[in-house]
Structure 1
Amino acid sequence: MISFSNQVKRELCTTITDGDKAYACLYGMLLFARQLRQDEIVLQSESDAFSTLMPRLFRRVFGDRVQPRMESSEHGMLYTLSVSDPEQVHTVLELYHITLPERPLQMTNVVTNSLGAFTAGAFLSCGSMTDPNKEYHLEFALPCVQLEEPLSQILLAIGVNAKTVLRKGMPVVYLKNSEQIEDLLTFMGAQQGTIDFINVEILKNVRNKANRISNCDMANINKVMLAAERQIRDILLIDERMGLDALPPDLQQMALLRLDNPELSLKELGELLDPPIGRSGVNHRLRRLQELADSLRTSS
């Protein structure tokens, strides 16, 4: 079963539809590539859409000047694109003005309407997200510390305030706020991914609310039962010491009604009386029975 992260990446691969987006997306993928050296470029992904997108991007941007090699693992679980010819690597680095090892971000490579495609390229290279059914978490595991600041600034420009943590000495820029993850998915072009994410969030909220209501109902039921047990003990003590016939009619009626209906709430008990009385009236009568039972206990 394809993961939620790979579903998003598969969708992103379908959104790179024009020359500006292709140029910006490829720049994002190269700049955030795990392996980018003077003699070799290696890009890897678990997304099958990656294997068709990458050769297309290279042809669109470089024509025949750069000829990457695409390989897949034995079971097709990992796709690798590599450029190992030094002259072709130089062509790539020169066109995008990429200097190593610092990798400074050159915003001249990204026109305004392609910033989302550039960010999508970065996500395709080093990003991932957890299934929202489990938790809300999207991250960029960066290949070098110099990229943390420019990526955070790009995200901040669209209202996404990311956090950073070090993992094995390298920065990981991450989001855990559901609304900000939705904003970023939309910004990168994953419209369906955003919709699917929101649907999961809605379903989780409904389930959580239902659980809270259920827990509240159970707590109320337990409260009613504990109160009824105490009231029945009082009534049985009164019956033993003086007999229920000795009670005033209103208290005798209430005592017998409680003994016959231990599961009912005060409101439900009041509705059975003739004439019916409210919850406060029932509570008043039961409190009088409790006070009588307490006086019998202290006098014994």
Structure 2
Amino acid sequence: MSFSNDVRTEIAKSIIDRDRQFACLYGVLLYCRTFTAEQIVLQSESDVYAKLIPSLFQSVFHWKLLPDARTAGRDNNSAVVSFRITDPEQIGQICSTYHIHPEKREIRLSNLVNNSLSSFLAGVYFGCGSVMDPNKEYHLEFNTPSELLCSDLQKLLRSIGVSGGCILRKNMYVLYLKDSEHIEDTLTYMGAQQCTIELMNIKIRKDMRNKANRVRNCDEANINKVVSAAMRQTEDIRWIMKCGRMETLSPELRELAQLRLENPELSLKELGELLSVPLGRSGVNHRFQKIAAIAEELRSHAVHSE
């Protein structure tokens, strides 16, 4: 089962009284893709949705003849459940009850009573919403059928402190959320508290993995720096030896040079601990700088002599 369907399952359990059912069905109907004076079509791939819709119509309208559910397959082996309403009397009752104008659908807050706004948003999610698996990406979106409905929904989400962007995709106005905290707030508001907790746990696990990766990458970078520095230092020392100038080095530099040749894998700090008079990292680095300067001078003389 997908995370998006887990959200549907959880919020469906919160639609328990008639006010919530009324608001939820309003959200489903208002944001469905097809709503005209001739027909209303409600579609979803969710089994939860397929079970919820008849119960909502029964609670709100008490129809003897409920919309029939029809199932059709898709190329990706998923099944789409459709509820089609073509009876003019039923469509008229829906429009009258919810004050919906098919040619200009917009949110009417007067339809929402007794703090049922959260159930309305749940209905909108049932009708046109989806959320990505947070293990892959933080993304929640609503595929709204018009620019006006997209704008209305954007304003509604702002009223609960949630910001989202809008884009036009395949003739649908998509309102999307990318911020994980805004997605958490939206899920919680709709009634999917357990899914919110799961998303937060996933964030914690991903953050821990990212920190572990950063530490590992940092360790690898430090190792590479140590190896590169050791190779440069060894090259300098061998050049000084090739030029027959080791004996001209001070005893401190000769000791360090010998230790480097014998221990190419050690860090500056570790080399400093092996000196007859232990020295810190910066002190060891300063001595290697002197060795590098001597080697560079000898290279320069070699070039000029050629």
With normalisation by structure 1, the TM-score equals 0.93
| Counterpart in the other structure of 1:40 | 39
Identity of aligned residues (%): 49
Moved more, 77-86 or 230-239: 77-86
Q: Which amino acid aligns with 1:161?
A: S
1:73 is paired with a residue of what secondary structure? Answer: strand
- Relative to structure 1, is the Cα distance of residues 55 and 283 closer, same or farther in structure 2, using a 3 angstrom cutoff? same
Tell me if structure 2 keeps the 8 A contact 1:71–1:79: yes
Answer yes or no: is 1:61 the counterpart of 2:60: yes
Shift of residue 90, structure 1, vs aligned partner: 1.5
Tell me if structure 2 keeps the 8 A contact 1:65–1:88: no
Tell me if structure 2 keeps the 8 A contact 1:10–1:47: no
Answer yes or no: is 1:298 the counterpart of 2:297: no
Give ranges in structure 2 of 5+ residues lacking alignment: none
Q: Deviations over 1:139-163 (max 9, x none)?
A: 1111122212211110010111111
Distance 1:19 1:11 in 2: 18
Q: In structure 1, which of residues 154, 159, 162 is the aligned counterpart of residue 161 of structure 2?
A: 159
Tell me if structure 1 keeps the 8 A contact 2:19–2:114: no
* Matched residues, number: 299
RMSD: 1.8
- Relative to structure 1, is the Cα distance of residues 89 and 162 closer, same or farther in structure 2, using a 3 angstrom cutoff? same
Shift of residue 188, structure 1, vs aligned partner: 0.9
| Counterpart in the other structure of 1:227 | 229
Answer yes or no: is 1:198 the counterpart of 2:200: yes
Q: Which amino acid aligns with 1:21?
A: R
Tell me if structure 2 keeps the 8 A contact 1:139–1:172: yes
| Counterpart in the other structure of 1:23 | 22
Distance 1:66 1:153 in 2: 36
Q: Which amino acid aligns with 2:49?
A: F
Q: Deviations over 1:248-288 (max 9, x none)?
A: 32222111110111111111111222332101111122122
Shift of residue 65, structure 1, vs aligned partner: 5.1
| Counterpart in the other structure of 1:79 | 81
Moved more, 240-249 or 6-15: 240-249
2:166 is paired with a residue of what secondary structure? Answer: strand
Q: Which amino acid aligns with 2:43?
A: Q
Tell me if structure 2 keeps the 8 A contact 1:5–1:131: yes
| Counterpart in the other structure of 1:287 | 289
1:198-217 mapped onto 2 (5 Å cutoff): 198-217=200-219
Shift of residue 243, structure 1, vs aligned partner: 5.4
Distance 1:292 1:146 in 2: 76
Give ranges in structure 1 of 5+ residues lacking alignment: none
Answer yes or no: is 1:127 the counterpart of 2:129: yes
Q: Deviations over 1:157-188 (max 9, x none)?
A: 01111111112333211111111111111111
